[in-house]
A = this chain, B = another copy of it.
């Protein structure tokens, strides 16, 4: 069971590493700079979570995460050398999968450490959003968080579902929380869902 979670976590890291590599490709970055951007995206959110919770930073004591990043980045690079082209949506979709993995895994780590449900949901959101946020800030892209469609909201929804179900069935909680985050985010990308908190003003959407 723990092993399942462990691989689930590595999968999230790999997916975010791919999204970092894709952005590096679009920005024409150099050799290891690509790896650096991939790494920051993949472990940035979890690092901020561990620091805030006062836990040991996960990848320092388990460098296998760094190998996962390296393998994901190198495979993405090789794939890009063959295709030499990325569809505009590819980066968004990789990011959505990463979001879904980390929204629940981040909440779960906080839950295991004994924090209350509200903090767990917040930590899931931080884990999921901060890696991509750092990636976009470094690459001088508009952070996806700010682009208008649902983004952080999907993590809050998925994390809340996870926290509600987790006391009863951890695996079911993980899967349903993750799938809800993923579907909400993919829907938001496809149909441009947004929660209009402000009335329309200034520049039109």
Contacts and interface: CB of A to CB of B under 8 A. Distances in A.
Interface of A: 25-37, 47, 51-54, 56-57, 60, 63, 66, 77, 80-81, 84-85, 115-116, 118-119, 122, 125, 129, 133, 137-140, 142-143, 145-146, 148-153, 156, 194-199, 201-203, 205
Contacts of A66: 118, 122
Interface centre among A36, A52, A57, A201 (most CB of B within 10 A): A36
B34 A197 contact: yes
B139 A146 contact: yes
Contacts of A25: 198, 201
A194 B146 contact: no
A26 B198 CA distance: 10
The copy count of this chain in the complex is 3
Contacts of A152: 32-33, 35-36
Contact of A138 (B54, B118, B143): B143
Q: Which of A31, A80, A153 has the most CB of B within 10 A?
A: A31
A205 B27 CA distance: 11
Contacts of A198: 25, 28, 77, 80-81, 84
A116 B150 CA distance: 41
A30 B118 contact: no
B60 A119 contact: yes
A36 B201 contact: no
Contacts of A34: 197
Interface centre among A52, A195, A197 (most CB of B within 10 A): A197
B125 A28 contact: no
Contacts of A54: 56-57, 60
A150 B36 CA distance: 12
A27 B146 contact: yes
Contacts of A197: 29-31, 34, 77
Contacts of A133: 138
Given A60-B119, A63-B119, A153 B31 contact: yes
